[in-house]
Structure 1
Amino acid sequence: MTSINNNAYDGFRTFSWLEDLSGVPLDKINFIIVYMISFAIAGLLRSSLSAEKVKPETRHAFCIIFGLILGYFAFGKYAMHLIGFSTICYGVITTRDPKLIHIEVFIVAALYLSYLHLHLQILNYGTYTLDIRGPIMIMTGKVTSLACSLHDGFARPEKELTVMQKEHVIRKRPSLLEYYSYLLSFLTIMAGPGTFYDEYMDFIHNRRIQEEKLQNKNFSERELQFSINLATLKKVCLGTVFLVLLYVFLHTYDIQNMTDDEFLKNTSMFYKIWCLNILASIHRLNYYFAWVFVDAICNNAGFGFNGFDENGQIQWTLVTNVNVWEIEIAPNINAYIKNWNKVTIRWLKLVVYERVPRFKIMITFLTSTIWHGFYAGYYLSMMHGILYYYAARSIRRHVRPYFLGSKVLKCLYDLLTMVVTRIAMSYFTVSFIVFEFQTAWKIYRDVYFFHLIFPVIGVLLVPILLPANETITISEVKNVDSERNNNKVDS
């Protein structure tokens, strides 16, 4: 089982006394401190350093300087990789042919990140410690999406571009200041999200909001500031709740026991499944806190405006990386993936999925796994993810139509798939958390590989036993849609 090892942590130890006082590891304390400082200074970007008061160059410099200061505080000497990685990739962007720039930048970034993964995996094997790999992973997403957008803008006719590629196309190479600001900004350097270059430039120049003001005369500055404050407050409160829950869970459940032979031998199947679910929940809480709070940091700076929703309310969701409620009630793995690490999913779609000619799903999963690192558990999770994906798609196609005859059956189907998805994702997560193939295999073996039975049936047997019947599918969908319309039920 993995452990936390603060002896491997290279960040500042100024607040080590808080570790002794609270029992929280120092790297986590520094992470929270960086978030608090980032949140405080982010407000300057929409007050004294707003786009209306200072030049873009000033905003860029501010983001770079504090990005490097906070990076050095959190990662110590390893912060040099922030400069090293970004500089090497910029050299490729500015000197190479746009026809191949997306491939060459991807290779250089992947090799640099892979070196760090392997180096730190060997140095600190099997430990959970805040290190430089996180920021470099985020920067890899940024620089490869930038290279793809430049390739689309310089080397491809517009008629060949997909909708997403047209949305993010770039027709002017970034200056050195713009580039470093995009990659090193304190807003997203710790935990992302890996925003797209055009979106970040829109924020620096305040384009989205200014365009909305020109189009909507009723869009007042007072309304804008109120919406920012409200969105920020909600996300800070929600992030705090996740942090408290994480602290409570960690002190209530000793997850280390899950790999003990005595635990595996003397506990029931149902309790093991329950503990796997708790393990997955704790893992999600880490990310819920990080992503929700960084969303609040960006919003506090005025970054994240995403137009209006159907009710006319201002949305601050552009850099939202997770939909917590949608994940917790996800009826299938597709819905889970869609709402988890959303910006990374957009990156994978732009950089990988829309550019490879064949085996799109498998290559995208593999890219995501390599991006995370080289622990065997990651690749075991990847294989589970691919199997679950195809099983969910098969069941939706071959089984779901038989449950669309009435609202009751449909609700029953959704409830069952929600429970199954939650259990499946617990198994999917465990090998990702424990890192090691042997440890994950021991857990799977002691639950009799229960998690593989239904996916295998879904992929291999369901299409044979229940061949897709288009007549049933179409007629039943029409029936349930008619019933929903009559009862004004939102699908």
Structure 2
Amino acid sequence: MVLTMLSDATGVPKPVLRLLLSILAAYPAALFYHIAFLRPMKTIWAPFIRNLYIVVTGLSISYFFNGSDIKHSLITTIVTWLICYFGDIIGNRKLACAASFIFNFSYILIGYYVTSTDEYDVDWTMPQCVLCLRMIGFSMDFMDGAKVLKSSAPEKKTIDNNKIDPPVTQLKTPKQPISFEKNSQLPTLPPLIETIGYAYFFGSFLIGPQFSFHLYRKLITMSLYADVNNIPSGSYKCALKSFFIGALYLGIQQIGVGFFPMSYLLTKEYAASPFFERLVCMWFAGKFAFTKYLGIWTLAEGSCILSGISFNGYDDNGKPEWNGLANVDIMKFEFSTSLNQIVTAFNTNTNLWTKLYIFKRLIFLGNKNLSSLGALLFLALWHGLHPGYYFCFFLEFVDIETEKRWVKRLEPYTKQLYDPMNKSYSITILRRLHNFACWFGQTCGLHYAMVSFELLKWDRVITAYNSVYWIGHIVVFTLLLADNILPRKRVKKIGDINNTKLSLNEKAKVVSDYVNGTKIKEQ
């Protein structure tokens, strides 16, 4: 009753309002966890108590959102654990992993088929798709844990007391993402109650972010922190910042879609408007579609920060960082000058999950492009059965491939713009113009592809793209074709120098330029 009244008063659809309230409910749950459990506890049951709190709060929020449909997530979590359990008993974790993959992926696809409508569905399949990846990753980590057990078997070694160890050189290694660290393998199967806590972690089970069980266990055992008696400061401030930025983006999105709704692209009025106006409307419609995701993910990140799981070590100045599970890098996303930068700035934890658990495991295909296509096909299926998803992800693949080729082709001409030694005013202006052109081209391709992702249905996608004469497809495929046809600027190799008519001094200069990284000009 209260939810219906709020929906009528705000104009926000009831399922969306329920989702927002569920995400916001994670904040007090995280705050209480921070105060009561993010500290040393003088009992060996401390990890169990922390996990039990997460189980209770997670299941409670899930029941508020899903109602009786909570059974789907419970079934998949328990069945996945049982598959891994029996796989361990029979000594075949690979079989268990394959069975888990098939079970979880089939379950979500059947769920999509049964519940699918003409719109984006905010129902039990939303958290279920998050859980699908989580359980598949869990079973893969358990499979990989068998290798850890074998490698940790004791070996007989002969000790040479006269051997002098070389001095150890301290190298600064780059910080690894905390969502999926390199040592996320599971040598032993975690207890079922911990697996349920991992599946229903209140800050991430609805819309992400994704992270490994290894990180979850570090949270409940407090091994995430070097000194449990001195928890780093700053989490309250960062969580509040995340909350306000997320709310701001959602507010902007609500205003923006009022002026540029995606549904407008399907109207006769839109089709009859001037061509340039149609392009502008499509650009902004795609832009505000992305704004929705930026807002909701940033809002959800706040509760993860508040719980303490997002702690990401310290920066170079010794200041604690709480961005360990950030799903979007807003500044990087807004000002990216390439689609490759977008991949690392948008839905980062899901992209990292896909890279580790799908892309890299398709290495047997022997081709990066095939692995990329396989990963994108997996993501399209994971999102749902609507044709718009496949339209979007295929175009994304073509866009990225085309961008990669033309960046390489134009590098001899653009490289000098980014020479740190060249600080002339004209170069600075050209560099800024180049950055703007790259940013604008990237946003045009991104927002154009987003149209099919949002419209979902085949007839809607066709109608929208017909209105702009499929300009995005024509441009990208023309560029791809042109790259295959046009000759490339030839760069001479050192071995070719002897065949040129140069003096000894000129040849020496060419070799020197080559060694110093300067490209050899055509003679």
For the residues of structure 2 that align with 1:240 and 1:476, how far apart are their CA atoms?
Answer: 53
1:471 deviation in Å?
6.1
Shift of 1:28: 2.0
Matching residue's letter, 2:260: Y
1:451 corresponds to 2:476: no
Task: Output one character per residue of 1:92-136: Cα deviation in whole Å (capped at 9) or x when no partner.
Answer: 111122133332211111001111111111xxx212342111111
> Which residue is 2:113 aligned to?
118
Match of 2:505 in 1: none
After TM superposition, give the deviation of residue 401 of structure 1 in Å.
Answer: 2.9
| Cα separation, 2, equivalents of 1:234 and 1:469 | 51
Alpha-carbon offset, residue 466 of structure 1: 4.4
3-state DSSP of counterpart to 2:93: coil
State which of 281, 288, 296 in structure 2 corresponds to 1:290.
296
Q: Is 1:154 matched up with 2:142?
A: no
Please give the secondary structure, in 2, of the residue aligned with 1:355: helix
- CA change 1:446–1:67 in 2 (3 A) is same
Cα RMSD over matched residues? 2.5
- For each residue in 1:218-243, what CA deviation from the matched residue of structure 2 results, as whole angstroms up to 9, or x when unmatched? x954xx23x11121121111112112
* Distance of 2:290 and 2:35 partners within structure 1: 34
Please name the residue that 1:4 is paired with: none
Is residue 388 of structure 1 aligned with residue 399 of structure 2? yes
Aligned to 2:451: 430
**Do the aligned partners of 2:78 and 2:192 also contact (CA within 8 Å) in 1?**
no
TM-score by length of 1: 0.86
**Residue 401 of structure 1 contacts residue 476 of structure 1 at CA under 8 Å; is this kept in 2?**
no
Q: Per-residue displacement from partner, 1:352-384 (whole Å, max 9, x unpaired)?
A: 111112211000000111100100111111211
Give me the whole-angstrom Cα distance separating, in 1, the residues matched to 2:471 and 2:282.
Answer: 13
Deviations 1:307-348 (A, max 9, x none): 122333211122110111211222121111121111101111
**What is residue 215 of structure 2 aligned with on the other side?**
199
Cα distance change on mapping 1:69 and 1:220 into 2, 3 Å: closer
Equivalences for residues 9-20 of structure 1 within 5 A: 13-20=1-8
Report the Cα distance in structure 2 between the residues aligned to 1:65 and 1:470, rounded to whole angstroms: 64
Instruction: Report the CA distance between 1:247 and its aligned residue.
Output: 2.2
Q: In 2, Cα distance between the equivalents of 1:152 and 1:467?
A: 44
What SS is found at the alignment partner of 1:131?
coil
Tell whether 2:411 aligns with 1:400. yes
- In structure 2, what is the Cα distance between the partners aligned to 1:132 and 1:32? 14
Contact persistence 1:149–1:165 (CA under 8 A): no
Q: What's 1:483 paired with?
A: none
Counterpart for residue 337 of structure 2: 331
Does 130-139 or 30-39 show the bigger shift?
Answer: 30-39
Question: Which residue of the partner structure matches residue 6 of structure 1?
Answer: none
Task: Could you tell me which runs of 5 or more consecutive residues in structure 2 were left unpaired when the two chains were aligned.
Answer: 153-175, 419-426, 494-512
Q: Is the 8 A contact 2:80 2:139 kept in 1?
A: no
- How many residue pairs end up in the alignment? 451
| 1:237 and 2:253 correspond | no
SS of the aligned residue for 1:208 comes to coil
Q: Which amino acid aligns with 2:48?
A: E
Aligned residue for 1:364?
A: 375
Contact 1:330/1:336 (<8 A) preserved = yes
Aligned-partner Cα distance in 2 for 1:476–1:339 = 35
> Structure 1 278/476 Cα, relative in aligned 2: closer, same or farther at 3 Å?
farther
CA distance in 2, matches of 1:350, 1:232: 28
Pair 254,390 (structure 1): closer, same or farther in 2 beyond 3 Å: closer
CA contact (8 A) 1:146 1:197 kept: yes
Q: Distance in 2 between matches of 1:477 and 1:38?
A: 56
Residue 224 of structure 2 aligns with which residue? 208
> 1:255 is matched with which residue: 262, 275, 285?
262
**Compared CA separation, residues 469 and 130, structure 1 to 2 (3 A):** same
Computing the radius of gyration from Cα coordinates, the structure with the larger value is 2
Cα distance 1:466–1:201, how it changes in 2: closer, same or farther (>3 A)? farther
Distance in 1 of aligned mates of 2:360 and 2:309: 27
Work out whether 1:100 is the aligned partner of 2:95: yes
- 374, 385, 395: which is aligned to 1:374? 385
1:47 aligns to 2:47 (yes or no): no
When residues 389 and 52 of structure 1 are mapped into structure 2, their CA distance, relative to the original with a 3 A threshold, is same
- Corresponding residue for residue 500 of structure 2: none
Whether 2:491 is the aligned partner of 1:465: answer no
SS at match of 1:374: coil
Deviates more, 1:46-55 or 1:230-239: 46-55
Deviation at 1:171, TM superposition (A): 1.2
Deviation at 1:74, TM superposition (A): 1.2
Change (3 A) 1:190 1:165: closer
| Structure number with higher helix proportion | 1
Which of 56, 65, 79 aligns to 1:65? It is 56
Structure 1 stretches lacking a partner, 5+ long: 1-12, 481-491
Q: Structure 1 CA distance, aligned partners of 2:517 and 2:434? A: 17
Name the stretch that deviates more: 409-418 or 446-455. Answer: 409-418
TM-score if structure 2 supplies the norm length?
Answer: 0.81
Please tell me whether the aligned partners of residues 102 and 147 of structure 1 are also in contact (alpha carbons under 8 angstroms): yes
Offset of residue 478 of structure 1: 5.3
CA 39–465 in structure 1, closer or farther in 2 if over 3 Å, else same:
same
Take 1:456 and 1:158, find their aligned partners in 2: how far apart are those partners? 49
Q: Secondary structure at the match of 1:426?
A: helix
CA distance in 2, matches of 1:275, 1:143: 40
In 2, Cα distance between the equivalents of 1:479 and 1:247? Answer: 51
Aligned equivalent of 1:307, options 302, 313, 335: 313
Task: Give SS of 2:94's match.
Answer: coil
Letter in 2 for 1:305: F
Identical positions, percent: 19
